[in-house]
């Protein structure tokens, strides 16, 4: 097969000009990896990588929400008060926060591929082990360990998706990947509905651990490294050339790779780069938005079924409330992604944040005992708005931060979000115990109002195409 190089970098041709030039010429050719990826076709290989990243997040969302379905059953089986489970929930969320922070640094240093694979295998093994736990302390410790992997998989997978997808489809691809968190929660709800009555909470955690272990083995044999990551390591350029050939982008084996647009924006790397070149205000605002949005999300993931059972609903109906929340999230995230692709990120994110606050406060007027159906529907609408914001904020991070700090920037935002999630472990238990459903819904609405204000502060929103 004849190999071709890209003359754009050496002959002044515009990005995306794939005119053939024999690779046998003696001079090395500079290839701009950004132009190769962004202006080239969206091939099957790239779509498979996005699909594998999405599978990683599905099992991530599945395992992260298992505890929410298991708590009402454990309360009855072990005769423990709901407040005793706050440390268990907090342990898992603390692990997620640490995993999120460490995974970004690991992925930027050692590669996105190993960050994803290691995370999936870790939380799979720890979740399997929970099925054999003899007491609540053991569950807490194992949830902490599982949290390291659950927290690490999300930023690593989204970064991999961003760096394999052409810019024109990046927002939708990232959102379609992130939307797999509530999709995984939906799957967890369906599994819980079947497995809990037949095999109990132990069978639920065993299932939740086996699935990611199988996926981890599959990823070992199928998941390639990010081309943008490889472009920054000359010793791996031969590997990059082979990968690009699989993606229908044939370049000379002795090509020299650059990333002009992003390297020009990366005068600094590492954590401090998040605050340089006018990014400080955006970074802090994004952190605040992630903090409050994940507080709202994990208040639902961890405590929504418990809150509904306190209102006299059965465990099965309470579980359907969380399933509706996740279903709404899947729809909302995809619709918001399409809106962002057409009009930029500012207004879709602000509108969905406002919708998240108003929908929570609207539910304050619903009588649970008389209008259970309306309550479930309203929770689906609330989940639609909240998850639309949470899912598409990863695309915002991918736009704000260049390649050298993209994983670090995304992971740091998610790490701050996990702090909000940890707070939700205790806030949810306390609010439900002291104030019931009304206080719980008020908290959710207030959190989304703060998210809206934080996103108003962000200056580097994804622009409207053509702007």
Residues above pLDDT 90, as percent of the chain: 41
Q: Is the pLDDT of residue 148 over 60?
A: yes
Q: What is the pLDDT of residue 5?
A: 43
What's the first-to-final CA gap in the chain, in angstroms? 40
The neighbour count for residue 218, using CB atoms within 10 Å, is 14
Single pTM value for the model: 0.73
**What band does 15 get if pLDDT is binned at 50, 70 and 90?**
very low
Residue 111 CA to residue 212 CA, distance in Å, equals: 20
* Contacts of 339 by beta carbon, 8 Å cutoff, 6+ apart: 348
**What band does 2 get if pLDDT is binned at 50, 70 and 90?**
very low
* Contacts of 314 by beta carbon, 8 Å cutoff, 6+ apart: none
Domains of the chain: 44-226+265-457 (1.20.1250.20)
Q: What is the pLDDT of residues 243-287, one digit of tens each?
A: 998 998 888 777 888 877 666 555 555 677 788 788 899 999 999
Of 123 and 65, more confident: 123
Q: What is the pLDDT of residue 352?
A: 97
β-partners of residue 258 are 32
Q: What is the pLDDT of residues 105-139, one digit of tens each?
A: 888 888 999 999 999 999 999 999 999 999 999 99
Q: What is the pLDDT of residue 431?
A: 86
The single-letter DSSP state of residue 253 is T
For residues 276 and 268, the answer to whether their CB atoms sit within 8 Å is yes
Q: What is the pLDDT of residue 20?
A: 40
Q: What is the pLDDT of residues 340-368, one digit of tens each?
A: 988 999 999 999 999 999 999 999 888 77
């Amino acid at each position: 097969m004849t190999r071709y190089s890209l003359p754009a970098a050496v002959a002044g041709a515009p990005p995306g000009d794939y005119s053939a030039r024999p690779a046998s010429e003696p001079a090395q050719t500079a290839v701009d990896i950004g132009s190769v990826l962004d202006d080239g076709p969206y091939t099957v290989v790239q779509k498979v990588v996005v699909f594998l990243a999405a599978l990683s997040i599905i099992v991530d969302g599945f395992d992260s929400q298992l505890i929410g379905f298991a708590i009402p059953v454990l309360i009855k089986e072990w005769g423990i008060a709901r407040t005793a489970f706050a440390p268990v929930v907090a342990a898992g969320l603390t692990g997620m926060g640490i995993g999120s922070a460490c995974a970004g640094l690991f992925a930027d240093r050692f590669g996105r591929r190993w960050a994803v694979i290691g995370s999936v295998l870790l939380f799979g093994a720890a979740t399997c082990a929970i099925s054999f736990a003899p007491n609540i302390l053991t569950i807490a410790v194992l949830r902490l360990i599982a949290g390291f992997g659950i927290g690490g998989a999300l930023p690593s997978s989204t970064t991999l998706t961003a760096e394999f997808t052409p810019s024109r489809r990046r927002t939708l691809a990232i959102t379609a990947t992130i939307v797999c968190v509530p999709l995984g929660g939906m799957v967890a709800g369906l599994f819980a509905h079947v497995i809990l009555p037949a095999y109990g909470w132990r069978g639920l955690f065993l299932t939740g651990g086996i699935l990611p272990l199988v996926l981890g083995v599959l990823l070992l044999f199928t998941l390639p490294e990010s081309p943008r990551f490889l472009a920054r390591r000359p010793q791996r350029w031969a590997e990059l050339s082979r990968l690009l050939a699989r993606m229908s982008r044939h370049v000379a084996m002795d090509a020299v790779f650059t990333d002009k647009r992003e390297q020009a924006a990366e005068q600094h790397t590492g954590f401090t780069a998040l605050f340089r070149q006018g990014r400080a205000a955006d970074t802090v605002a994004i952190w605040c938005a992630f903090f409050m949005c994940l507080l709202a999300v994990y208040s639902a993931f961890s405590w929504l079924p418990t809150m509904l059972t306190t209102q006299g609903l059965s465990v099965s109906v309470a579980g359907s409330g969380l399933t509706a929340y996740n279903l709404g999230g899947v729809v909302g995230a995809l619709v918001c992604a399409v809106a962002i692709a057409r009009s930029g990120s500012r207004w879709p994110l602000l509108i969905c944040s406002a919708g998240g606050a108003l929908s929570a406060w609207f539910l304050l007027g619903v009588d649970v005992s008389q209008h259970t159906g309306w309550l479930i529907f309203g929770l689906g609408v609330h989940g639609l708005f909240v998850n639309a914001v949470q899912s598409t904020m990863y695309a915002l991070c991918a736009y704000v931060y260049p390649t050298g700090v993209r994983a670090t920037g995304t992971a740091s935002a998610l790490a701050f979000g996990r702090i909000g999630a940890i707070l939700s472990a205790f806030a949810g238990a306390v609010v439900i115990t002291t104030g019931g459903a009304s206080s719980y819904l008020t908290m959710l609405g207030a959190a989304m109002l703060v998210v809206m204000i934080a996103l108003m502060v962000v200056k580097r929103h994804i622009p409207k195409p053509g702007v």
